[in-house]
Amino acid sequence: MIEAFKQWIAEAVAQLGYGEILLLMALESSLFPVPSELVMIPAGYLARNGGLDPFLAALTGGFGSVLGASANYLLGRHVGRAFLLRFGKYLLINEAKYHEAEAMFLGNAARATFIGRFIPVVRHLISLPPGVFGMAYLPFALITFAGATIWCGVLVAAGYFFGDAAIGVISTYTHELTLAVLVLLVAGGLWFLLRRRG
């Protein structure tokens, strides 16, 4: 199942257009493991070669992210915290990461909703607490769009300005990049916990 999903992603990225960007970024912002780097950096590379407009690609990625994040928002709003904590593992929701996202949100809802879009793993879950705790949808959507579009813009710029080198790094060092992200995530989590206790 997972291998088939990966193959489908690879095929979608190979024929990347605005529709594929919208769909893949919607999945990336929901509960499906689609790394945004594998979508938006190739989009920037295609823009460099005249296949896409870079600004439109970033905006499309932002809109797609809002769609996926809205699905999570509605899930949190309608099933609630207890359900997510009890059955989240069946929905690919890591309980520890959910707690991290929730702690960020309760510290400062608007800031967490924005900054959470830039944090690997957390960005998949940061849309659940706003739904659970009843954040108004319009501010949630606007903040999510702003954060997601900036993130997509950074990745498009990487593909656009670094071209073959950026694609090569993704192709060759995906495993190493994943490990680096995990290390940074653990370090960030420890910093966050120490700051809360201090």
On whether residue 95 sits in a domain, the answer given is yes
Instruction: Output the pTM of the full model.
Output: 0.75
Q: What is the pLDDT of residue 187?
A: 59
Can you give the pLDDT at residue 2?
47
Is 198 a member of any domain? no
The answer to whether position 24 is within a domain reads: yes
Query: Does any domain span residue 197?
Result: no
Q: How many domains does the chain have?
A: 1
Spell out the alpha helix ranges (H) of the chain: 2-14, 18-29, 37-48, 54-87, 95-107, 109-115, 122-125, 128-132, 137-197
Tens of pLDDT along the chain (198 residues) come to 445 545 655 565 667 899 999 999 998 888 776 788 888 888 998 888 888 999 999 999 999 999 999 999 998 888 888 877 777 776 767 778 788 888 888 888 888 888 888 887 778 888 888 988 889 999 999 999 999 999 999 889 988 888 666 666 655 555 455 455 445 555 555 665 666 665
Would residue 55 count as lying in a domain? Answer: yes
Provide the pLDDT for residue 58. Answer: 96
Give the pLDDT score at 5.
47
Q: Which domain holds residue 140?
A: 2-192
148 touches 62 (CB < 8 A): yes
Give domain status of residue 153, yes or no: yes
